[in-house]
Amino acid sequence: MAQTALVSKAFQEKYTPVRMTTYPERDDNGLAGWMNVYADFHIISLIGIPVGLLPGVGVGGWILPFISGQMSTMTVGKGIVHINIWALAVAALFSYLTVIISAGRPCRKASKVSPIETLRYTEESGKGGKKGKKLTVVILSLSLALIILNGVIGLVSGFDVNEFIKSDIAADFSIQDASLDSMAASYHETDAVDRDLIEMIKAQPGVSETGNIYISTFGQEFSDEGWEKLEKGFFKDEAVMECLNCWYTDGSYDFNACMNDFRKFKTLSGNTYGMGEFAAGKLKVIETMDGSETIDWEKFNSGDYVLATRWTMDGWYYTNIVEAGDKVQIRSHDPKYAETVEEPAEDGKMTSYESYENAPVREYEVYAIVDIPQSIAYRVSEFIELNYILPESEYLKLEGSKGAMRTLIDVEDDKEAAFETRIKEYINSEDPDMSYTTKESVTAEYKSLSDTIGMVGIILALILGLIGLMNFANTMITSIIVRSKELAMLEAVGMTGVQQRHKLMKEGFTYFLLTTVVSVIVSSVLNVTAIRFLADELGMFAWRFTLMPLAVCLPLIMVMIIIIPVIAHNRLSRRSIIDRLRTE
């Protein structure tokens, strides 16, 4: 009876002036009350913007030095965070204008609506499209965070660089000039590892294998017969013709003119390498003249044979320039054969250069077609180039005594630390232009990249997750406030607070179920498509299907989206039923 009396009293007071005090007061233009609301947005902005900037600066100051430390740059002040007050001011102004502009239109529109119309809108806003749109936004914001988190962790958890680094380092240590592998260098030193350094390396304790790699970068010449074969074979390949059209011609220099220049000189860009048995063992054998899958070093080292590389378009299309069994010629570029030649330049002045026109030319038979791993190759290349590899002894006979481009070293595991210390001492004290790489340093470099991807992805997922939870909290709290009278009436006629909380928890659980369905389906699809493709492309990651991050995070999300409505309801319930029945 008491509850019925309360309800009756509430209905009697439903249209009393008390009810109207909950709406902003209106003036003749209907703006005064809503201008007060509009002013609140200014206050919120003045509070919220500094609160947002402080953690933004803090997170940036923490994460940016870490990311900078992983980048291969050499700049003054690398890794030091500099706070730009103007950038913060622009960010604050942009945020402030965004809030004011966004709030202005709704406030002006609301000022034209009477309180009764507002009441009707409020009572019906939970029905139809509005509620559906809010539900969609909340589900998508929560799901997006989980999808990104699952994708990032699924990718970085498959970090497996052991196979991948084989293309970046072929031995325990590689010693070379510091400019050799720097793409920023304008000049690359190709004979910096001299005989004294090689002997010092061999004398170190624990050194089990060494392999020198020499290079000459003068291009490859062809006889009339050899060039005719190229024109009938290699230059008829559609991919080669496309490459010539794209990279070797322009509006005034067409394909035919390009081919005429090739015919005139009968040369291709390329390098001649000299390799010992240890270094040559790192080559990828494509085919041999005798059909075997490996190189017979004793036969190859006889001095009558050469290895040749094939041509590739971006690493996905390959074709042979010369074939195994072909006869090719290599001209000596021993400095003792160099002749200084002077001739007039285009500006009429005389210019001089070193000519090897009269240097001896040696004929070799192509023993095998091979690919040179990036870790031991000269990293300056042309779109069309042909490389030859000679045995080390034969190369030095042809090209003369010179330093190696790089030296590969394998060291016993328990001696690696001592060897690295000795090499570091040598470089610091005797030859600072040299550098070295190790298998561990390459692995650490890729591991740092993996950690960077993981950290940035997880931080992004956390930010999106917080946004999703705030969207959910805002939706549920707004819904509870709008329905406060409905909940009060239900409580007045007998529904307990526990029953109301259970009702709200069920609504939250609906959000959880929909978030779970969307997250699992989209994460699964992305895992077997985009994440798998990315793992294959990066190479350092082994793809594996996983939903473990969802299994860990979804229970936490469930707890949050169930307890948020309960907390909001408990705060609302502190007011008496009478007050809640009076308030619209």
Boundary residue ending a domain (432, 465, 481):
432
Domain of residue 51: give its range: 31-111
Tell me, what's the pLDDT at 167? 60
- Asked if 259 and 364 sit in the same domain, the reply is yes
For 128-157, what is the mean pLDDT? 76
State the pLDDT confidence band at 34, using cuts at 50, 70 and 90: low
- Residue 1's pLDDT is what? 43
Q: Which helix H or strand E contains 109, and what residues bound it?
A: helix 85-111
60, pLDDT greater than 80: no
Identify the pLDDT of residue 83: 66
583 within 8 A of 20, measured Cβ to Cβ:
no
Predicted local distance difference test score (pLDDT) of residue 75: 43
397 with 535, same domain?
A: no
Residue 121 and residue 96: Cα distance in Å, rounded? 29
Residues 397 and 309 in one domain: yes
Residues 143 and 280 in one domain: no
User: What is the per-residue pLDDT for 308?
Assistant: 97
The continuous run of DSSP H or E covering 411 comes out as strand 406-411
CA-based nearest residue to 138, from 571, 507, 499, 567:
507
Structural domains of the chain, count:
3
Question: Would you place residue 297 in the very low, low, confident or very high pLDDT band (cuts 50, 70, 90)?
Answer: very high
Report the DSSP beta bridge partners of residue 134: none
- Report DSSP state, residue 62: H
Counting other chains too, the contacts that 287-293 makes at CB distance below 8 Å and 24 or more residues apart are 287/324, 287/368, 287/369, 288/324, 288/367, 288/368, 288/369, 289/324, 289/325, 289/365, 289/366, 289/367, 289/368
- Which amino acid, 478? T
Residue 234 shares a structural domain with residue 315: yes
On the question of pLDDT at 215 being above 90, the answer is yes
Q: What pLDDT score was predicted for residue 440?
A: 77
Average pLDDT over residues 507-525: 87
**106-115 confidence digits (pLDDT tens):** 666 666 656 5
Strongest mean pLDDT among 63-67, 320-324, 451-455, 507-511: 320-324
Residue 406, SS3 per DSSP: strand
373 falls within a domain: yes
Q: Are residues 456 and 563 in the same domain?
A: yes
> What pTM did the predictor assign?
0.60
Q: What's the token pair of residue 3?
A: 């509850």
Say if residue 551's pLDDT is above 80: yes
Q: What is the pLDDT of residues 397-438, one digit of tens each?
A: 999 989 999 999 999 989 999 999 999 999 999 888 999 988
Q: Are residues 138 and 265 both part of a single domain? A: no
The pLDDT mean for the chain works out to 79
